[in-house]
Structure 1
Amino acid sequence: MTSALISAAELKATFSDPQRVIVDCRHDLRLTDAGEDAWKQGHVPGALFMHLDRDLSGDKTGRNGRHPLPSPEGFVRLLGERGITPRHRVVAYDDAGGMYAARLWWMLRWVGHRDVSVLDGGLQAWIAAGGAIDTTVHTLPPATYPLAAIEPVFDADAVRANLEGGDRLLVDARAPDRFRGENETLDPVGGHIPGALNRFFKLNLGEDGRFKPADVLRAEWRELIGGRDPATLVMQCGSGVTACHNLLALEVAGLHGARLYPGSWSEWCSDPARPMAR
């Protein structure tokens, strides 16, 4: 089974693998062209680029969050247009500790593609390992990506029903101040979904910007969730992006089965009738 993470050294050692596809996922939530501009200025050789807003999100309605999922059909159509097929071994990277690469990692698994890893430490680790940087725009021949079984997700109705006696536990990946309802700059309302716990996604990383070892992550997550079955967890954040980082950390820790609430706080707070906590 493919590991959820791949080191820069491992990627260098297997770089000639013809089935390897590398995807640059760099992004800036406030300067939304910055990631693509950075990719054009230099990237891991052969890396394709996927934009968080255009490629890894669907259409916004004002009520479905800042980064709603595209339809599964639309996403696999995009994969085929980029030349990615089920036989490819995908590596996603960014320069933000996996903050955005984890979104692509989760979305591929969402549509049944299990052979996907995140470059641990991102572009910085690649450069530190002596990896080359290229400016050539690389493309693959278009293909067809068949739609397989879809991994279930939680929607706002399911979260609301869970508040009324369900056994699911929500974990919010936002910074503690935003979770408390303070210093909110991305969404119009501050606060969190009642009953949610807080696990800031950056706590998954060590000081070197790489993910903490599996046993450390397992111990930290167990301290948060106790003896609860990981399959009863639902990850959320502001818009369904950094929640995927927590899902990736759980996978590294060997705690499998948690789900995603893609709409997250930005969807939840769009309806003032939904309960909110501060």
Structure 2
Amino acid sequence: MKTFTTFIDPDELVKLLDYSNLVVIDCRFDLLNPDWGFQDYLKNHIPNAIYADLEKDLSGSITEETGRHPLPEPEKFIETCSNWGIDEHKQVVVYDTSSGSFASRLWWMLKYFGNQKVAILDGGFSTWLGYGFPQESGQIHNQPSKFIGSPDPELMKTTSQMETIIFNPDYTIIDARSRERYLGLEEPLDKVAGRIPNAINFFHQNNLDPNGRLLPLEELQEKYNDLLEGNHDTSKVVYCGSGVTSCLNIAVMQHIGLKPIRLYLGSWSEWIRNPNHPIISENIS
């Protein structure tokens, strides 16, 4: 069986549904209505897909120092993955109803723990339904397995590390939020608007076409080449509001061959916890 490590097309996934070493995980979520994702999953989902909750399964406890979606304790996440039936033999496919905006968080977390056989469903559940592919309702539970993994610190940057690199020309910092949030003109989720100094902007939705499908490889390569002004040698750090949607940028950048790429996990919501951190904003009102 072919291994998928970044994205998988619905046409490819439908051929694998009866494959015993496949784990499909539904990650649909709504930041403003946290209970919606699971309830919507129960109505219909890809056959044999289990459900992963962003806040209950993919995040840990919020403290005065963290952003809105810190990582769970490693032991807890390893136990969760084991209960989901993930092990080194399994091909994992993650999806949501937001073209990968939430599923990419689990994609990144599995990579962070050393699991490379994980891919995001291109176009998500809406594309799956549009193809007329099978669906089912109700909650699914997999046979537990033994997940073995450990965090790779090389894939992540902490706030203390960000403090030392924001003015370092060897790093390129990429803000994956909307242009309006990047400029500080609006902020629907966090108490302070603006961006980290020297960050450039690539909205995570700009990786997608109007139907929520991934743009062609050549077009993505051109977009990121323009963003980086041809300089691919710097270490790239991506952030968003809380370390979730920025993972889609990371997946795409890996898909097109860029490296090294790291996630600033705490992202904007953690950066602004410290009032002494510098910020940039175009909002002068």
CA distance in 2, matches of 1:146, 1:11: 25
- Map of 1:19 onto structure 2: 21
* Paired amino acid for 1:185: P
- Map of 1:99 onto structure 2: 101
1:152-179 C-alpha deviation (Å, 9 max, x unpaired) = 2100111110134352111000001111
Structure 1 residue 3: Cα displacement: 3.9
Q: Out of 141-150 and 83-92, give the one that drifted further.
A: 141-150
- Map of 2:225 onto structure 1: 222
Does the 8 Å contact 1:46/1:136 carry over to 2? no
SS at match of 1:118: strand
Does the 8 Å contact 1:45/1:136 carry over to 2? no
- Map of 2:240 onto structure 1: 237
- Map of 1:260 onto structure 2: 263
Does the 8 Å contact 1:240/1:261 carry over to 2? yes
1:185-226 C-alpha deviation (Å, 9 max, x unpaired) = 100000000000010001000122101011111110010012
Which of the numbers 49, 53, 78 marks the counterpart of 1:47?
Answer: 49
RMSD over aligned CA atoms reads: 1.4
- Map of 1:270 onto structure 2: 273
- Map of 1:191 onto structure 2: 194
1:69-114 C-alpha deviation (Å, 9 max, x unpaired) = 1233321121012222121100000011110011111111110100
SS at match of 2:126: helix
Q: Out of 267-276 and 223-232, give the one that drifted further.
A: 223-232
Does the 8 Å contact 1:268/1:274 carry over to 2? yes
Structure 1 residue 119: Cα displacement: 0.6
- Map of 2:215 onto structure 1: 212
Aligned length: 278
SS at match of 1:221: helix
What TM-score comes out, normalization by structure 1 length?
0.96
Give matches, 1:54-93, under 5 Å: 54-93=56-95
What TM-score comes out, normalization by structure 2 length?
0.94
CA distance in 2, matches of 1:81, 1:20: 14
Does the 8 Å contact 1:5/1:120 carry over to 2? yes
> Are the structure 2 counterparts of residues 230 and 246 from structure 1 closer, same or farther at C-alpha, using a change threshold of 3 Å?
farther
- Percent identity over the alignment? 35
Does the 8 Å contact 1:111/1:151 carry over to 2? no
1:205-257 C-alpha deviation (Å, 9 max, x unpaired) = 01221010111111100100123236610000000011101001112212132
Q: What are the ranges of 5 or more consecutive residues in structure 2 without an aligned counterpart?
A: none
> Are the structure 2 counterparts of residues 19 and 230 from structure 1 closer, same or farther at C-alpha, using a change threshold of 3 Å?
farther
> Are the structure 2 counterparts of residues 149 and 191 from structure 1 closer, same or farther at C-alpha, using a change threshold of 3 Å?
closer
CA distance in 2, matches of 1:109, 1:128: 29
1:126-163 C-alpha deviation (Å, 9 max, x unpaired) = 11122112113221222221224625210011111013
CA distance in 1, matches of 2:234, 2:151: 18
